[in-house]
Amino acid sequence: MYICIFFCIFAPNNKNYLPMTTQELNQAFEQVYGRKTEKMFFAPGRVNLIGEHTDYNGGCVFPCALNFGAWLLLAKNADKVLRFRSLNMDEVYEIAINAIKPQPNRAWCNYALGCIDIIARRHPEAKLESGYDILYYGNVPAGAGLSSSAAMEVVTARAFTEEMMKGLVDEWMSGLEGDKAYRTELALIGQACEHEYAGVMCGVMDQFASAQGKKDHAIYLNCDTLEFEHVPVKLNGIKVVITNTHSPHHLDSGAYNDRVRQCQTAVEQISRVKPIKFLAELSPEDWAEVEIAITDPIAKKRARHVVGEVARTAEAVEALKQGKIELFGKLMTASHVSLRDDYEVTGKELDSLAQAAWQVDGVLGSRMTGGGFGGCTVSLVRDEAIENFKAFVGAEYEKATGLKADFYVAEIGDGVARLA
Protein backbone atom coordinates (compact mmCIF):
# COMPACT_ATOMS: atom_id res chain seq x y z
CA MET A 1 0.00 0.00 0.00
CA TYR A 2 1.60 3.27 -1.09
CA ILE A 3 0.74 6.82 -0.19
CA CYS A 4 1.55 9.71 -2.49
CA ILE A 5 2.28 12.74 -0.35
CA PHE A 6 2.30 16.28 -1.70
CA PHE A 7 4.22 18.47 0.70
CA CYS A 8 6.71 21.26 0.95
CA ILE A 9 9.74 20.43 3.04
CA PHE A 10 9.12 22.72 5.98
CA ALA A 11 12.69 22.76 7.18
CA PRO A 12 13.80 25.30 9.78
CA ASN A 13 17.07 26.92 8.76
CA ASN A 14 16.87 25.19 5.37
CA LYS A 15 17.76 21.79 6.79
CA ASN A 16 16.39 18.99 4.63
CA TYR A 17 13.89 16.41 5.83
CA LEU A 18 15.29 13.58 3.72
CA PRO A 19 15.67 9.86 4.46
CA MET A 20 18.90 8.87 6.22
CA THR A 21 20.25 5.37 6.69
CA THR A 22 21.05 4.02 10.13
CA GLN A 23 24.73 4.16 9.18
CA GLU A 24 24.42 7.85 8.31
CA LEU A 25 22.59 8.54 11.57
CA ASN A 26 25.27 6.72 13.58
CA GLN A 27 27.95 8.71 11.80
CA ALA A 28 26.09 11.93 12.56
CA PHE A 29 25.89 11.03 16.26
CA GLU A 30 29.62 10.29 16.37
CA GLN A 31 30.39 13.57 14.62
CA VAL A 32 28.21 15.54 17.07
CA TYR A 33 29.28 13.86 20.30
CA GLY A 34 32.65 12.35 19.47
CA ARG A 35 31.64 8.82 20.43
CA LYS A 36 29.48 5.97 19.25
CA THR A 37 25.75 5.52 19.60
CA GLU A 38 24.59 2.99 22.17
CA LYS A 39 20.94 2.68 21.08
CA MET A 40 18.66 3.86 18.27
CA PHE A 41 14.86 4.12 18.15
CA PHE A 42 12.25 5.14 15.54
CA ALA A 43 8.61 6.29 15.75
CA PRO A 44 6.44 7.15 12.72
CA GLY A 45 4.27 10.09 11.82
CA ARG A 46 0.67 9.42 10.89
CA VAL A 47 -2.15 10.43 8.58
CA ASN A 48 -5.79 10.23 9.63
CA LEU A 49 -8.01 8.82 6.88
CA ILE A 50 -11.26 9.95 8.53
CA GLY A 51 -12.52 10.86 11.99
CA GLU A 52 -11.34 14.41 12.73
CA HIS A 53 -11.68 16.21 16.06
CA THR A 54 -13.52 13.20 17.43
CA ASP A 55 -10.67 11.87 19.58
CA TYR A 56 -10.92 14.30 22.48
CA ASN A 57 -14.70 13.98 22.25
CA GLY A 58 -14.59 10.27 23.08
CA GLY A 59 -15.15 9.13 19.50
CA CYS A 60 -13.45 6.84 17.02
CA VAL A 61 -10.71 7.75 14.55
CA PHE A 62 -9.07 5.91 11.67
CA PRO A 63 -5.37 6.81 11.31
CA CYS A 64 -2.41 4.88 9.97
CA ALA A 65 1.30 5.12 10.68
CA LEU A 66 3.66 6.23 7.93
CA ASN A 67 7.14 5.01 7.13
CA PHE A 68 8.73 8.35 7.91
CA GLY A 69 8.98 9.84 11.36
CA ALA A 70 11.48 10.58 14.13
CA TRP A 71 14.71 8.85 15.09
CA LEU A 72 16.39 9.05 18.51
CA LEU A 73 19.99 8.03 19.14
CA LEU A 74 21.51 8.05 22.60
CA ALA A 75 24.50 7.18 24.74
CA LYS A 76 24.96 7.55 28.48
CA ASN A 77 27.29 10.23 29.81
CA ALA A 78 28.96 10.62 33.22
CA ASP A 79 27.95 14.26 33.65
CA LYS A 80 24.40 13.85 35.03
CA VAL A 81 23.05 16.06 32.24
CA LEU A 82 20.72 15.56 29.31
CA ARG A 83 22.18 16.98 26.10
CA PHE A 84 19.64 17.48 23.32
CA ARG A 85 20.62 18.05 19.72
CA SER A 86 18.70 17.68 16.47
CA LEU A 87 19.83 17.41 12.87
CA ASN A 88 16.78 19.51 11.98
CA MET A 89 17.19 22.36 14.43
CA ASP A 90 20.01 24.70 15.47
CA GLU A 91 19.12 25.05 19.15
CA VAL A 92 21.15 22.89 21.56
CA TYR A 93 20.04 22.22 25.14
CA GLU A 94 21.87 20.89 28.21
CA ILE A 95 19.76 20.23 31.31
CA ALA A 96 20.70 18.60 34.61
CA ILE A 97 18.82 15.37 35.29
CA ASN A 98 17.63 16.75 38.66
CA ALA A 99 16.30 19.98 37.09
CA ILE A 100 13.80 18.76 34.49
CA LYS A 101 11.07 21.33 33.84
CA PRO A 102 9.52 23.10 30.84
CA GLN A 103 11.99 25.34 29.04
CA PRO A 104 11.01 28.85 27.88
CA ASN A 105 10.43 30.17 24.36
CA ARG A 106 8.67 27.02 23.11
CA ALA A 107 11.93 25.07 23.19
CA TRP A 108 11.74 21.96 21.04
CA CYS A 109 13.35 19.90 23.80
CA ASN A 110 10.14 20.25 25.83
CA TYR A 111 8.65 17.36 23.85
CA ALA A 112 11.45 15.17 25.19
CA LEU A 113 11.69 16.60 28.69
CA GLY A 114 7.96 16.22 29.19
CA CYS A 115 8.05 12.52 28.34
CA ILE A 116 10.97 11.85 30.70
CA ASP A 117 9.25 13.77 33.50
CA ILE A 118 5.91 12.01 32.94
CA ILE A 119 7.50 8.54 32.86
CA ALA A 120 8.95 9.20 36.32
CA ARG A 121 5.63 10.48 37.66
CA ARG A 122 3.50 7.68 36.17
CA HIS A 123 5.90 4.91 37.22
CA PRO A 124 7.50 5.26 40.67
CA GLU A 125 9.92 2.45 39.81
CA ALA A 126 11.35 4.52 36.94
CA LYS A 127 14.69 6.14 37.77
CA LEU A 128 16.79 8.54 35.71
CA GLU A 129 20.18 7.68 37.17
CA SER A 130 22.49 8.74 34.36
CA GLY A 131 22.99 11.61 32.00
CA TYR A 132 22.51 11.08 28.25
CA ASP A 133 23.75 12.50 25.00
CA ILE A 134 20.71 12.50 22.70
CA LEU A 135 20.38 13.18 18.98
CA TYR A 136 17.08 13.50 17.08
CA TYR A 137 16.38 13.42 13.40
CA GLY A 138 12.98 13.66 11.73
CA ASN A 139 11.72 13.52 8.17
CA VAL A 140 8.09 14.31 8.99
CA PRO A 141 7.60 17.81 7.59
CA ALA A 142 6.98 20.02 10.62
CA GLY A 143 3.70 21.92 10.55
CA ALA A 144 2.15 19.66 7.92
CA GLY A 145 -0.30 18.05 10.33
CA LEU A 146 1.36 14.63 10.04
CA SER A 147 2.30 14.44 13.72
CA SER A 148 5.98 15.32 13.86
CA SER A 149 5.57 16.20 17.55
CA ALA A 150 3.76 12.94 18.37
CA ALA A 151 6.52 10.95 16.66
CA MET A 152 9.11 12.74 18.80
CA GLU A 153 7.10 12.13 21.97
CA VAL A 154 6.55 8.44 21.28
CA VAL A 155 10.15 7.74 20.29
CA THR A 156 11.31 9.48 23.48
CA ALA A 157 8.82 7.53 25.59
CA ARG A 158 10.01 4.28 24.00
CA ALA A 159 13.67 5.05 24.63
CA PHE A 160 13.37 6.32 28.17
CA THR A 161 10.92 3.76 29.50
CA GLU A 162 13.62 1.27 28.53
CA GLU A 163 16.40 3.34 30.10
CA MET A 164 14.53 4.29 33.27
CA MET A 165 12.65 1.05 33.93
CA LYS A 166 15.50 -1.39 33.24
CA GLY A 167 14.27 -4.92 32.53
CA LEU A 168 10.62 -4.14 33.18
CA VAL A 169 10.00 -3.11 29.58
CA ASP A 170 11.08 -6.53 28.28
CA GLU A 171 8.63 -8.17 30.68
CA TRP A 172 5.90 -5.72 29.65
CA MET A 173 6.39 -6.45 25.95
CA SER A 174 6.29 -10.24 26.32
CA GLY A 175 3.21 -11.61 24.62
CA LEU A 176 0.75 -9.89 22.30
CA GLU A 177 -1.43 -8.34 25.00
CA GLY A 178 1.56 -7.09 26.97
CA ASP A 179 3.00 -5.47 23.86
CA LYS A 180 -0.31 -3.74 23.13
CA ALA A 181 -0.56 -2.49 26.71
CA TYR A 182 3.00 -1.15 26.60
CA ARG A 183 2.40 0.67 23.33
CA THR A 184 -0.79 2.19 24.71
CA GLU A 185 1.19 3.45 27.70
CA LEU A 186 3.71 5.09 25.35
CA ALA A 187 0.84 6.89 23.63
CA LEU A 188 -0.56 8.11 26.94
CA ILE A 189 2.84 9.40 28.02
CA GLY A 190 3.10 11.33 24.75
CA GLN A 191 -0.39 12.76 25.12
CA ALA A 192 0.32 13.89 28.69
CA CYS A 193 3.50 15.58 27.45
CA GLU A 194 1.48 17.45 24.82
CA HIS A 195 -0.94 18.64 27.49
CA GLU A 196 1.58 19.63 30.15
CA TYR A 197 4.67 20.73 28.24
CA ALA A 198 3.20 22.00 24.94
CA GLY A 199 -0.12 23.31 26.25
CA VAL A 200 -2.19 21.55 23.56
CA MET A 201 -5.20 19.69 24.96
CA CYS A 202 -5.14 17.10 22.18
CA GLY A 203 -6.71 13.67 22.08
CA VAL A 204 -4.63 10.52 21.97
CA MET A 205 -4.96 9.66 18.26
CA ASP A 206 -1.60 10.95 17.01
CA GLN A 207 0.48 9.28 19.69
CA PHE A 208 -1.60 6.09 19.50
CA ALA A 209 -1.07 5.72 15.76
CA SER A 210 2.68 6.27 16.19
CA ALA A 211 2.86 3.67 18.94
CA GLN A 212 0.41 1.02 17.66
CA GLY A 213 0.88 1.33 13.88
CA LYS A 214 0.96 -1.81 11.74
CA LYS A 215 2.21 -2.12 8.18
CA ASP A 216 -0.56 -1.94 5.55
CA HIS A 217 -3.25 -1.43 8.21
CA ALA A 218 -5.16 1.53 9.61
CA ILE A 219 -6.28 1.69 13.24
CA TYR A 220 -9.95 1.95 14.14
CA LEU A 221 -9.58 3.43 17.60
CA ASN A 222 -12.18 4.25 20.23
CA CYS A 223 -10.57 7.21 21.96
CA ASP A 224 -12.70 6.82 25.08
CA THR A 225 -12.03 3.15 25.87
CA LEU A 226 -8.76 2.87 23.87
CA GLU A 227 -10.08 -0.32 22.32
CA PHE A 228 -8.85 -0.66 18.74
CA GLU A 229 -8.77 -2.83 15.66
CA HIS A 230 -6.14 -3.06 12.93
CA VAL A 231 -8.06 -2.92 9.63
CA PRO A 232 -6.30 -3.98 6.39
CA VAL A 233 -6.04 -1.18 3.83
CA LYS A 234 -6.47 -2.70 0.37
CA LEU A 235 -6.93 -0.11 -2.35
CA ASN A 236 -6.41 -1.87 -5.65
CA GLY A 237 -5.54 0.66 -8.33
CA ILE A 238 -6.03 3.59 -5.96
CA LYS A 239 -3.56 5.74 -4.06
CA VAL A 240 -3.96 7.80 -0.94
CA VAL A 241 -2.67 11.27 -1.81
CA ILE A 242 -1.73 13.73 0.92
CA THR A 243 -1.49 17.31 -0.28
CA ASN A 244 0.32 19.94 1.76
CA THR A 245 -0.98 23.50 1.87
CA HIS A 246 2.48 24.93 2.63
CA SER A 247 0.61 26.82 5.32
CA PRO A 248 1.85 25.16 8.52
CA HIS A 249 -0.78 24.48 11.15
CA HIS A 250 -0.27 25.66 14.72
CA LEU A 251 -2.33 23.68 17.20
CA ASP A 252 -0.96 25.75 20.09
CA SER A 253 -2.29 28.98 18.56
CA GLY A 254 -5.39 28.75 20.77
CA ALA A 255 -7.95 27.86 18.11
CA TYR A 256 -7.59 24.13 18.81
CA ASN A 257 -8.09 24.59 22.54
CA ASP A 258 -11.09 26.82 21.77
CA ARG A 259 -12.73 23.89 19.97
CA VAL A 260 -12.12 21.66 22.99
CA ARG A 261 -13.82 24.18 25.28
CA GLN A 262 -16.74 24.66 22.88
CA CYS A 263 -17.38 20.93 22.80
CA GLN A 264 -17.25 20.85 26.60
CA THR A 265 -19.89 23.59 26.65
CA ALA A 266 -22.10 21.47 24.40
CA VAL A 267 -21.69 18.46 26.70
CA GLU A 268 -22.61 20.55 29.74
CA GLN A 269 -25.77 21.91 28.11
CA ILE A 270 -26.87 18.56 26.65
CA SER A 271 -26.33 16.88 30.02
CA ARG A 272 -29.22 18.91 31.44
CA VAL A 273 -31.60 16.77 29.38
CA LYS A 274 -29.48 13.66 28.68
CA PRO A 275 -26.48 12.91 30.91
CA ILE A 276 -23.38 12.27 28.77
CA LYS A 277 -19.64 12.35 29.28
CA PHE A 278 -18.66 12.80 25.62
CA LEU A 279 -20.40 14.04 22.48
CA ALA A 280 -19.48 10.75 20.79
CA GLU A 281 -22.04 8.98 22.96
CA LEU A 282 -24.78 10.55 20.83
CA SER A 283 -26.12 8.88 17.70
CA PRO A 284 -27.56 11.03 14.90
CA GLU A 285 -31.00 10.04 16.22
CA ASP A 286 -30.03 11.20 19.73
CA TRP A 287 -28.76 14.47 18.28
CA ALA A 288 -32.12 15.25 16.72
CA GLU A 289 -33.67 15.01 20.17
CA VAL A 290 -31.09 16.94 22.23
CA GLU A 291 -29.67 19.64 19.98
CA ILE A 292 -32.33 22.07 21.17
CA ALA A 293 -30.70 21.96 24.62
CA ILE A 294 -27.58 23.72 23.30
CA THR A 295 -28.18 27.47 23.59
CA ASP A 296 -24.67 28.49 22.47
CA PRO A 297 -24.85 28.60 18.64
CA ILE A 298 -21.11 28.03 18.18
CA ALA A 299 -21.09 25.07 20.55
CA LYS A 300 -24.06 23.64 18.65
CA LYS A 301 -22.15 23.74 15.35
CA ARG A 302 -19.12 22.08 16.91
CA ALA A 303 -21.25 19.34 18.44
CA ARG A 304 -23.12 18.72 15.18
CA HIS A 305 -19.82 18.05 13.46
CA VAL A 306 -18.64 15.63 16.14
CA VAL A 307 -21.84 13.58 16.19
CA GLY A 308 -21.89 13.38 12.40
CA GLU A 309 -18.18 12.60 12.12
CA VAL A 310 -18.39 9.72 14.57
CA ALA A 311 -21.18 8.17 12.49
CA ARG A 312 -19.30 8.83 9.22
CA THR A 313 -16.16 7.18 10.56
CA ALA A 314 -17.99 4.02 11.56
CA GLU A 315 -19.67 3.86 8.15
CA ALA A 316 -16.36 4.50 6.35
CA VAL A 317 -14.54 1.71 8.18
CA GLU A 318 -17.32 -0.74 7.36
CA ALA A 319 -17.24 0.41 3.74
CA LEU A 320 -13.48 -0.29 3.57
CA LYS A 321 -13.94 -3.75 5.04
CA GLN A 322 -16.58 -4.48 2.39
CA GLY A 323 -14.50 -3.10 -0.46
CA LYS A 324 -16.88 -0.16 -1.05
CA ILE A 325 -14.13 2.33 -1.82
CA GLU A 326 -16.39 4.78 -3.63
CA LEU A 327 -18.54 5.10 -0.51
CA PHE A 328 -15.44 5.58 1.61
CA GLY A 329 -14.44 8.45 -0.67
CA LYS A 330 -17.84 10.12 -0.48
CA LEU A 331 -17.69 10.00 3.30
CA MET A 332 -14.26 11.64 3.23
CA THR A 333 -15.67 14.52 1.21
CA ALA A 334 -18.64 14.85 3.58
CA SER A 335 -16.15 15.00 6.45
CA HIS A 336 -14.39 17.98 4.89
CA VAL A 337 -17.67 19.84 4.34
CA SER A 338 -18.55 19.38 8.00
CA LEU A 339 -15.08 20.46 9.13
CA ARG A 340 -15.43 23.53 6.92
CA ASP A 341 -18.96 24.57 7.80
CA ASP A 342 -19.52 23.39 11.37
CA TYR A 343 -16.08 22.98 12.93
CA GLU A 344 -14.49 25.83 10.94
CA VAL A 345 -10.93 24.49 10.96
CA THR A 346 -10.18 24.41 7.23
CA GLY A 347 -9.48 27.89 5.84
CA LYS A 348 -8.69 29.08 2.34
CA GLU A 349 -5.71 26.81 1.68
CA LEU A 350 -7.29 23.52 2.72
CA ASP A 351 -10.59 24.40 1.04
CA SER A 352 -8.82 25.34 -2.21
CA LEU A 353 -7.04 21.98 -2.31
CA ALA A 354 -10.17 19.95 -1.52
CA GLN A 355 -12.39 21.84 -3.96
CA ALA A 356 -9.85 21.41 -6.76
CA ALA A 357 -9.53 17.70 -5.99
CA TRP A 358 -13.31 17.20 -6.15
CA GLN A 359 -13.25 18.40 -9.78
CA VAL A 360 -10.79 15.74 -10.99
CA ASP A 361 -12.14 12.60 -12.65
CA GLY A 362 -10.73 9.63 -10.77
CA VAL A 363 -10.81 11.29 -7.35
CA LEU A 364 -13.11 9.33 -5.07
CA GLY A 365 -12.95 11.78 -2.16
CA SER A 366 -10.81 14.45 -0.53
CA ARG A 367 -10.71 16.07 2.89
CA MET A 368 -8.45 17.91 5.30
CA THR A 369 -6.51 15.70 7.69
CA GLY A 370 -5.05 16.53 11.07
CA GLY A 371 -6.02 19.35 13.37
CA GLY A 372 -6.60 21.87 10.58
CA PHE A 373 -5.67 25.56 10.50
CA GLY A 374 -3.27 24.64 7.70
CA GLY A 375 -1.47 21.35 7.09
CA CYS A 376 -2.67 18.75 4.60
CA THR A 377 -5.57 17.20 2.75
CA VAL A 378 -5.91 13.48 2.08
CA SER A 379 -7.48 12.17 -1.14
CA LEU A 380 -8.30 8.84 -2.76
CA VAL A 381 -7.12 8.96 -6.38
CA ARG A 382 -7.18 6.28 -9.07
CA ASP A 383 -3.76 5.42 -10.47
CA GLU A 384 -4.55 6.65 -13.96
CA ALA A 385 -5.67 10.02 -12.60
CA ILE A 386 -2.57 10.76 -10.49
CA GLU A 387 -0.74 12.89 -13.05
CA ASN A 388 -3.84 14.87 -13.94
CA PHE A 389 -4.55 15.30 -10.25
CA LYS A 390 -1.07 16.72 -9.67
CA ALA A 391 -1.31 19.08 -12.61
CA PHE A 392 -4.85 20.34 -12.06
CA VAL A 393 -4.85 20.59 -8.27
CA GLY A 394 -1.39 22.15 -8.28
CA ALA A 395 -2.39 24.78 -10.84
CA GLU A 396 -5.71 25.61 -9.20
CA TYR A 397 -4.13 25.83 -5.78
CA GLU A 398 -1.35 28.12 -6.94
CA LYS A 399 -3.91 30.31 -8.71
CA ALA A 400 -5.97 30.58 -5.53
CA THR A 401 -3.17 31.01 -2.98
CA GLY A 402 0.13 31.70 -4.74
CA LEU A 403 1.56 28.54 -3.12
CA LYS A 404 2.86 25.34 -4.69
CA ALA A 405 2.67 21.65 -3.74
CA ASP A 406 5.29 18.91 -4.05
CA PHE A 407 4.86 15.17 -3.57
CA TYR A 408 6.41 12.28 -1.69
CA VAL A 409 5.54 8.59 -1.85
CA ALA A 410 5.43 6.62 1.40
CA GLU A 411 4.01 3.40 2.77
CA ILE A 412 1.76 2.58 5.69
CA GLY A 413 4.31 1.41 8.21
CA ASP A 414 4.77 -0.12 11.64
CA GLY A 415 4.71 1.64 14.99
CA VAL A 416 7.56 2.65 17.28
CA ALA A 417 10.54 0.29 17.52
CA ARG A 418 14.07 -0.03 18.80
CA LEU A 419 16.35 -0.34 15.78
CA ALA A 420 19.69 -1.01 17.46
d(CA 203, CA 28): 34
Max Cα distance, the chain (Å): 66
- The b/e string for 45-74 (b: 16+ C-beta within 10 A; e otherwise) is bbbbbbbbbbbbbbbbbbbbbbbbbbbbbb
Of the candidates 280, 158, 180, 186, the one whose C-alpha atom is nearest the C-alpha of residue 230 is 180
How far is C-alpha 169 from the geometric centre of its chain's CA atoms?
24
Dihedral sign from CA coordinates of 308, 313, 314, 315: positive
Q: How far apart are CA 213 and CA 150, in angstroms?
A: 13
Is 206 marked active-site? yes
- Amino acid 244 reads N
Question: For the chain, what is the HEC assignment?
Answer: CEEEEECCCCCHHHCCCCCCCHHHHHHHHHHHHCCCCCEEEEEEEEEECCCCCCHHHCCEECEEEEEEEEEEEEEEECCCEEEEEECCCCCCEEEECCCCCCCCCCCCCHHHHHHHHHHHHHCCCCCCCCEEEEEEEECCCCCCCCCHHHHHHHHHHHHHHHHHCCCHHHHHHCCHHHHHHHHHHHHHHHHHHHHHHHCCCCCCHHHHHHHHCCCCEEEEEECCCCCEEEEECCCCCEEEEEEECCCCCCHHHCHHHHHHHHHHHHHHHHCCCCCCCCHHHCCHHHHHHHHHHCCCHHHHHHHHHHHHHHHHHHHHHHHHHCCCHHHHHHHHHHHHHHHHHHHCCCHHHHHHHHHHHHCCCCEEEEEEECCCCCCEEEEEEEHHHHHHHHHHHHHHHHHHHCCCCCCEEEEECCCCEECC
* Given 55, 117, 133, 206, the catalytic residue: 206
Q: Name the residues annotated as catalytic.
A: 206
